Structure 1
């Protein structure tokens, strides 16, 4: 049970899951529409008799039309949410000074507040990689157990990975968060920390 000062999403699972699924659907459709527009543009320029369109124009269009796949955009949304949420969760606790204290906070208090359940975390002594395992992660819990939906499940972990990365960024830790699934609904989040020089 989380402390009283820690907000929890336990009572709001259905609205969040519905919203999360709609966000994923939106970004997948937007990405497909951008790919279609890009293909149409490139085809029209290829067939154009007016050869005034320069290759640099095509490169600029490609850059903006294909800027980020759905997973990247959803992860960016999660980053902003995690960055803001960690301030609410950490406001009543003493200042976290070490990297280990910050990681323990993320894996215990923040995880419970953000994802509504506990996890098991491994804190290796001399490495920059922490592994957080959640045995029934809520964004993929509704998918059938087993391995048949592993490919489809990956996009459902982009937002939570962004939430963790954003929370760590607000605590002063640059990281890369990589979720992995071997069997649903067990999810491992590999948190690679960037050491500051």
Structure 2
């Protein structure tokens, strides 16, 4: 991927930064984190319905939904597919991104890992919202390994399991 950023990418990156600054300036840190994740959740639901049309009404396995997320959803949002998806086939999915586009755009602006981690809250919400559109609830966590690389863990309750 070229290191030159398009105008769209720069504007998208600045939008992320502005979202966080607006929320943090008006609320406590915990409230702003929740609002950022909720915003992502809402956008994730909307995008899921737009790209999947009739698929959300079908009963798909969690693996099939995760494949749609990693191909179609990621392509729509980040102009590329996921670098690597791994699963234990028991409801745990690990997404490895060596050049996560939002972090690629913003790690030059924010050297503070805490600020970059806050940006990932929006993406945690995006994934939860996408999965919710397919009637899947999940615990989603992110790990900032070496910006712009990150790992996203998605835990979907496995049939026969009661915990998320």
Return the TM-score normalized by structure 2. 0.81
Report the equivalent of 1:133: 96
Q: Is residue 75–residue 81 contact of structure 2 (8 Å, CA) maintained in 1?
A: yes
Describe the SS at the equivalent of 1:23: helix
Among 174, 187, 196, the residue aligned to 2:137? 174
Report the equivalent of 1:163: 126
Q: Is residue 175–residue 192 contact of structure 1 (8 Å, CA) maintained in 2?
A: yes
Structure scoring higher RCO (CA < 8 A, sep ≥ 6) equals 2
Map residues 92-103 of structure 1 onto 2, 5 A cutoff: 95=58, 97-103=60-66
Q: 1:56-94: CA deviations, max 9, x gaps?
A: xxxxxxxxxx8x432211000000000011011112769
Q: Is residue 62–residue 156 contact of structure 2 (8 Å, CA) maintained in 1?
A: no
Q: How far apart are the structure 1 equivalents of 2:79 and 2:121? A: 17
Q: 1:146-192: CA deviations, max 9, x gaps?
A: xx632221111011110111000001110011111111100111001
- Given the alignment of the two structures, is residue 190 of structure 1 paired with residue 141 of structure 2, yes or no? no
Q: How far apart are the structure 2 equivalents of 1:129 and 1:100? A: 10
- Given the alignment of the two structures, is residue 21 of structure 1 paired with residue 17 of structure 2, yes or no? yes
Deviation at 1:18, TM superposition (A): 1.8
Tell me which structure has the larger Cα radius of gyration. Answer: 1
Q: Name structure 2 gaps, 5 residues minimum.
A: 1-5
Q: Name structure 1 gaps, 5 residues minimum.
A: 1-9, 33-65
Q: 1:114-170: CA deviations, max 9, x gaps?
A: 222222110222x321001111112211314xxx63222111101111011100000
Among 37, 44, 69, the residue aligned to 1:82? 44
Distance 1:96 1:133, change over 3 A: farther
